[in-house]
């Protein structure tokens, strides 16, 4: 088990569940949209070799480790997340998919990195990394906060961006719409809007 500083991001489609339950949404429309959505997610995974990702239904958790010497690479990683969100939004706009759009939440923090048995390996031999701690659990919880805003990030992420924060036109969220259960209120109060 190792201790790592990471940036974790969770991307999610807004309104996906209600869209799939609508009787008017034909199966072929669902299949086409889901295929395009996953094509975009997989493209992000292929081009971001230093990050670890986990598909989760209509979303994806993606994590990247940074050493102190690599903190200058935070800007590039955040830019890759911006590209991911824009590509997903384009799929939503150009399709008959859910009209809610997409959003992403980004958080930094220390986590435990373990090497565990891959539950999807039929031979039960392959080992894969697994990350756990407050950061990786909390980033998903931030989806509840102001869901209409495409990108929210914690103060630590903004601080790690340094001077590059001007690229993203960072500004404080102000009063959050909700305080998610199990999330430190100081983290919620400190959320920042990144212009994606």
Please give the tally of structural domains in the chain: 1
Element at 40 (helix H, strand E): helix 27-47
**Which range has highest mean pLDDT (9-18, 107-116, 158-167)?**
107-116
pLDDT of residue 83: 96
DSSP per-residue codes, 78-114:
HHHHHHHHHHHHHHHHHSSS-TT-EEEEEEEEEEEEE
Question: How far apart, in whole angstroms, are the C-alpha atoms of residue 85 and residue 191?
Answer: 18
Predicted confidence (pLDDT) per residue in 139-170, tens digit: 999 999 999 999 999 999 999 999 989 999 99
Reported pTM: 0.93
Domain containing 132 equals: 2-193
Question: Is the pLDDT at 47 greater than 80, yes or no?
Answer: yes
pLDDT confidence tier of residue 55, bands split at 50, 70 and 90? very high
Question: Is the pLDDT at 22 greater than 90, yes or no?
Answer: no
DSSP secondary structure code for residue 9 in this structure = E
Place of tokens 């949209």: 33
Residue range 109-127: mean pLDDT, rounded:
95
Backbone angles phi, psi at 129, to 5 degrees: -75, 150
Helix, strand, or coil (residue 11): strand
The domain that holds 170 is classified in CATH as 3.30.70.1230
């Amino acid at each position: 088990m190792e201790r790592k500083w990471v940036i974790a991001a969770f991307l999610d489609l807004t309104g996906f569940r209600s869209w799939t339950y609508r009787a008017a949404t034909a199966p072929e429309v669902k299949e086409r949209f889901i295929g395009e959505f996953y094509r975009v997610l997989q493209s992000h995974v292929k081009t971001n070799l230093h990050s670890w990702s986990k598909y989760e239904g209509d979303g994806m958790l993606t994590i990247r480790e940074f050493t102190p010497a690599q903190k200058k690479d935070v800007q590039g990683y955040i830019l890759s997340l911006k590209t991911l969100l824009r590509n997903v939004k384009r799929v939503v706009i150009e399709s008959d998919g859910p009209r809610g759009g997409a959003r992403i939440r980004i958080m930094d923090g220390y986590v435990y990195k373990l090497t565990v048995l891959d539950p999807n390996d039929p031979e039960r031999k392959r080992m894969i990394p697994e990350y756990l701690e407050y950061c990786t659990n909390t980033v998903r919880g931030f989806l509840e906060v102001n869901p209409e805003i495409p990108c929210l990030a914690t103060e630590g992420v903004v601080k790690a961006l340094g001077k590059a924060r001007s690229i993203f036109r960072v500004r404080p969220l102000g009063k959050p719409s909700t305080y998610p259960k199990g999330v430190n209120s100081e983290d919620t109060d400190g959320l920042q809007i990144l212009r994606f």
